[in-house]
Structure 1
Amino acid sequence: MSDPRATYGEPVEEPRDVDDVVGRAHEGLADAEAARRDAADRDTLEREAAQRDAVHDDELNASRAESDADRTPAEHGAPAATSAPSGRWDDSDDLDPMYAQHADEAVEAEPRTHRVDTRDDVPARDVADAPTVAVAPVAAGAADRTPEPVSPSPSAPQPIFVQAPEQPRPRGNRGAAGAIGLLAALVFAALYLAAWLGFGYITGEVKAADLGSAALSPLTRADFWVPVAVFFIGFWFLGAIINRGRWGLWVILGILVGVVSYVGHILGQLFQAPFWTLTASQGNQIVQDQLLAPLAIVAFVLGRELTIWFGAWVSSRGKRMTELNNEAQREYERTLEAGPQLVRA
């Protein structure tokens, strides 16, 4: 008989470490399952990140649209603030304080997520090693709020406001012309009364024994006071026109006050009549009788002469006011040229 071992060949040794082979098989299956789970987690995280980015972009665009609608046309020209890339907010001072507060609160409340490296040449790592920060949505109405003004620090230099000097107002002479005209009117009344008594004495209407009562009787008559009042009005009106003018203007235009005084004498006779009880023919007759009356001529001469001499007084004061105005103007110009002066207590 032949040898059975020659028929079946050399005996094969059975592997003794079966547990090692089974363990390596399980490890291979576990690695494959872990790689599959990692790939699935990676896809899920990428989709969630894409969804968050899309939601964040939509909310940011909506807030910008509302802000642009509320802003004025002048504000549309200013460049709009943009968010920092890579899902992180910029820490610059331009960020609204309320907006930054909402962002910080959202960062603290957001659960920590993880980043997975998707490059082929880098092995898969534990996703717990790479935390990232989630982005908080835009707070409602934060874009419409204007930042509160920041008060300057006490150490910063404070601006000093200097009030510019006011330009001096020119001094006029019209009030003085009125006061001097009142004195001139009193002199006019005294001279007009003297002429009244003189012509009365010449015509025999006034007696030397009755001179006192005759001097008081015109003071109650309208034909005496109307020329005086008209002279004062004419003198003051001329003084308001000339103001600080030269004396030559009073000499030339004084004839107008004489004419006004002459007309005032005729008006006084009409008021004394009185004219509202007269007919047209009677009034016309009174005017014709007084055209060349001695007192009418006296009123014209007094009005003319008193205006010249009292006008010289008004003119001299007007010259002094002109000098004061010029000096005040020169002082004002010197103050402007010197500029603001800081006076310390």
Structure 2
Amino acid sequence: MSDPQSSYGEPVDEPTTGDDDVVGRAEEGLADAEAAGRSAVEPTEAPEPGAGEVVEETVVEEVVVADEAPSAVNEWAAEPPAWAANAPLDDEPVATDAAPTAVYEESVTVSDTTVSPSEPVAEREPVAPVAAQPIFVQAPEAPRPRGNRAAAGAIGILAALSFAVLYLGAWLALGAITGDVTGANVGTTAVAALGTWALWVPVVVFFIAFWLLGAIVNRGRWGAWVIIGLLVGVAAYGGHLLGQLFQAPFWQLTASQGAELVEGQLLAPLAIAAFVFGRELTIWFGAWAASRGKRVTELNAEAQREYERTLEAGPQLARG
């Protein structure tokens, strides 16, 4: 079987006049379509992305090139027979490739656009939550009630000095009545009496009795001093008898002599004066001690009320 190509002879030059026009017009149509497609797609201004925002933009550009090739080309560019597919005919022009319809798609994607600060931010370590610490507030102490015993002792000293003055005056007065004390020796007798047991023992006994009564009555009313003050008078009377024994002195006396001395002083004017002085001074100085005790009672009540108000208000934090 002979080669079909050889049977036709040598290939001849194809006319190119029509083909050049078709290709040129196709290229012009392609350029016009591309320009039209670019002008159709107008870029839009996208808002500036903020910090932490992601902006995604897709631009699709389609360029359709119309088939502007003349219909004449399509007529003579029909599909040749199978046996002549690879060999051009002498009378038949070689068809060039017509410009196909081209679709261009351009995609622009901006993703993960994050505006970060110009300087790196140091990562802070997580701080563990601090548990609330309990605040201990010391509870106020209950006020201690103040007493009147010390004040009664101080008042008792003044009362004892007054007792000593009155007792010495009675002593000198009784001596003047009996004629032992005169205007010439009154000074010397008074000075001599200040150094005797007979004067100071009754004074000391009176003070001790007065202070003990004040310790018992404490913040009591004046009525307690008036009633119980009778015992202080009795103590002063006993102090007179004891002073006479110390003045003897009793360690140099026999029992019978001591008994006779005590019997002789039971109804002595100075012993009765000691009782009266002790009783009266307790009443009057006791009124002073009772007044002081009343004041102390009011102060204690006010302190207790303040303590109760503090407890009701609860704990308070001091602010500097």
Q: TM-score, normalised by structure 1?
A: 0.55
Spell out the pairing of 1:1-345 with structure 2 (5 A cutoff). Answer: 155-345=130-320
SS at match of 1:220: coil
1:239 counterpart letter in structure 2: G
1:154-189 Cα offsets, whole Å, 9 max, x none, are 722221111100000000000000000000000000
Q: Which blocks of at least 5 consecutive residues in structure 1 are unaligned?
A: 1-152
| CA distance in structure 2 between the aligned counterparts of 1:216 and 1:344, rounded to whole angstroms | 67
Distance 1:154 1:308, change over 3 A: farther
Distance, in Å, in 2 between the alignment partners of 1:263 and 1:234 is 11
By how many angstroms is 1:207 displaced?
1.1
Alpha-carbon distance in 2 for matches of 1:344, 1:211: 73
Instruction: Describe the SS at the equivalent of 1:312.
Output: helix
Q: 2: CA distance between counterparts of 1:319 and 1:225?
A: 32
TM-score scaled to structure 2, two decimals? Answer: 0.59
The amino acid across from 1:286 in the alignment is L
Q: Deviations over 1:223-267 (max 9, x none)?
A: 110000000000000000000000000000010000000000000
What amino acid is the match of 1:219? L
Which protein is bigger by CA-based radius of gyration? 2
Size of the aligned set, in residue pairs, is: 193
State the secondary structure of the residue aligned to 2:194: helix
The alignment-based identity, stated in percent, is 73
Q: Per-residue CA shift, 1:280-316, capped at 9, x if unaligned?
A: 1100000000000010000000000000000000000
Deviations 1:3-45 (A, max 9, x none): xxxxxxxxxxxxxxxxxxxxxxxxxxxxxxxxxxxxxxxxxxx
Instruction: Kindly provide the CA deviation profile for residues 78-127 of structure 1, in whole angstroms up to 9, marking residues without a partner as x.
Output: xxxxxxxxxxxxxxxxxxxxxxxxxxxxxxxxxxxxxxxxxxxxxxxxxx
Aligned mates of 1:172, 1:223 — CA distance in 2: 34
Q: Counterpart of 2:281 in structure 1: which amino acid?
A: L
Q: Provide the C-alpha distance between the structure 2 equivalents of 1:160 and 1:277, rounded to a whole number of angstroms.
A: 75
Runs of 4+ in 1 over 3 A off after TM superposition: none
Q: Which moved more, 1:177-186 or 1:154-163?
A: 154-163
- State the alpha-carbon separation in 2 of the partners of residues 343 and 174 from structure 1: 37
Higher helix content, 1 or 2: 1
C-alpha separation between the residues in 1 aligned to 2:199 and 2:129?
A: 79
Partner of 1:69: none
Distance across 2 between alignment mates of 1:316 and 1:176: 11
SS at match of 2:200: helix
The one-letter amino acid paired with 1:157 is A
The one-letter amino acid of 1:188's match is F
TM-superposed CA distance for 1:344, in Å, is 2.4
AA of the residue aligned to 1:204: G
Shift of 1:209: 1.2
